[in-house]
Amino acid sequence: PPGDPKPLLYEAGATAPNSARLLTTGDETDGAWSLVELTEMPGTKTTWHRHPHTDQAYYVREGVFTVKVEDKIYQLHAGGYIFIPRGTPHGTGNVGSVPVNVLLIDGPAGFERYFQARADLLKTIGAHDPKFQERMRELRKQYDTEELGVWDPNRKANVIP
């Protein structure tokens, strides 16, 4: 039913926390894939990273989702979709002024547990605690995320309607 599963608050945003709903987990697909609904507040931005063993696909439901894949930046509006093959450097973010809602499909499954781990971490260590970023780096490694640095989501973008 709507509202289930309950959202996991995984990042303390400036205006409200970012949230993830684990709609379909690897436990339900024999590890083949997972489906996560993400709501990200303005100012949210990932690190520049790649997933060595995980393909990702995003479908934008609301807002404008900024995605950099290799050397191109895209502004994906509601109805927009992007597929990111495993091993491909990328970053995502919300540089707009309203929340973004996206569906994230990962294959194989496993990365969805990263959002639960982040939510659990946020409950135990405040986001401004110096240990928080250290623990986040550990979580990224644990959940198939290789950090490559930072990226600028405000660079001129390629618009995909």
Measured in whole angstroms, the distance separating CA 123 from the mean position of its chain's CA atoms is 19
Residue with token string 């949230």: 19
Q: In what helix (H) or strand (E) does residue 156 lie, and over which residues does it extend?
A: none
Residue 156 confidence class, pLDDT cut points 50, 70, 90? low
Distance CA 103, CA 109 (A): 14
DSSP 56-122: EEEEEEES-EEEEETTEEEEEPTT-EEEE-TT--EEEE--SSS-EEEEEEEESS-THHHHHHHHHHH
Residue 161 confidence class, pLDDT cut points 50, 70, 90? very low
Tell me: the pLDDT tens digits for 61-86? Answer: 999 999 999 999 999 999 999 999 99
Q: What pLDDT score does 10 carry?
A: 86
Cα atoms in the Cβ-side hemisphere of radius 13 Å centred on 77:
4
Check the CA dihedral 58-123-29-51 and report its sign: positive
Q: Report whether pLDDT(158) > 60.
A: no
Average of per-residue pLDDT across 132-149: 93
Higher pLDDT, 154 or 120: 120
Tell me: the pLDDT tens digits for 5-64? Answer: 999 988 765 567 899 999 999 999 999 999 999 999 999 999 999 999 999 999 999 999
